[in-house]
Amino acid sequence: MKISIRQLSIEGLRALKIFHTKHACSYRISDTSFVNYLTFPQYVVVVAMNVNGIILGYTICLVAIDEADVIYLYVDAKYRCRGIATQIFKYFMSSISGLKRMHLEVDVNNAEAINFYKKNEFKIIRIRKAYSNNSDSCEMIWCKVEHTV
Ligand SMILES: CC(C)(COP(=O)(O)OP(=O)(O)OC[C@H]1O[C@@H](n2cnc3c(N)ncnc32)[C@H](O)[C@@H]1OP(=O)(O)O)[C@@H](O)C(=O)NCCC(=O)NCCS
């Protein structure tokens, strides 16, 4: 299947809201938050789209100079394990010049996501007790490896 990966601007608001409403409904994102994510320069929204402009997955990250926090990452369940999240992440990482560190929190029971992040060179740095919905979470980071000559 042909997909394209791109950074979304405010023109993509409708497509993002449709995707979120259809798939990622375990958490609610208000219309104002969607607009903020797509317009404030500190947020970067990267999506995977099919040829018809339908979003198959997305990430929203908060960037501060050379660091980023992953706020959301979601791939349509029908299209998982095909490398879509990996492509979204690679695109994001290469689009932030000088990115040195990424950080996120994920539920300790979310094996798919933890495996995904480990495969993409994130490491667990600590477990936070009763962080979200009384469930423990893993705090994970990725640090750029500096090669010395
Ligand atoms: C986590 C998620 C984004 C991965 O998306 P994806 O497009 O399937 O990921 P990719 O195909 O790029 O990467 C696949 C890797 O992820 C991990 N993975 C994905 N699904 C998995 C599963 N069901 N069981 C175990 N590992 C899994 C594996 O490391 C896998 O690599 P492998 O195929 O070599 O074993 C997706 O499962 C998802 O949207 N989950 C629901 C939302 C979520 O939990 N988001 C993260 C919250 S922080």
**Same domain, yes or no: 26 and 58:** yes
Could you tell me if 79 and 72 are in contact, meaning their C-beta atoms sit under 8 angstroms apart?
A: no
**Same domain, yes or no: 20 and 88:** yes
Q: Domain containing 29 — which CATH number?
A: 3.40.630.30
Q: Could you tell me the pLDDT band of residue 146, with boundaries at 50, 70 and 90?
A: confident
Residues 88-104: what's their mean pLDDT? 96
Q: Using CA atoms, how far apart are residues 77 and 139, in angstroms rounded to an integer?
A: 24
**Same domain, yes or no: 91 and 118:** no
Ligand 1 environment, Cβ below 6 A: 73-75, 80-86, 104, 106, 110-113, 115-116, 119
Out of 76, 97, 118, pick the residue that ends a domain.
Answer: 97
Q: What are the E-state strand segments in 76-145?
A: 101-107, 123-132, 135-143
What amino acid occupies position 36? N
Please state the pTM of the whole predicted model.
0.93
**Same domain, yes or no: 105 and 84:** no
For the beta sheet containing 101-107, the strands, ordered from the edge strand earlier in sequence to the opposite edge, are 3-7, 43-50, 55-64, 67-75, 101-107, 135-143, 123-132
**Rounded distance from Cα 116 to ligand 1 centre (Å):** 5
**Same domain, yes or no: 107 and 84:** no
Residues 11-58 pLDDT 10s: 999 999 889 888 755 667 888 999 999 999 999 999 999 999 999 999
> What six digits make up the tokens of 67?
């660091």
Out of 5, 74, 112, 139, give the residue to mutate to test ligand 1, the one with the largest number of ligand atoms within 8 Å of its CB. Answer: 112
Residue range(s) defining the domain that contains residue 119:
100-149
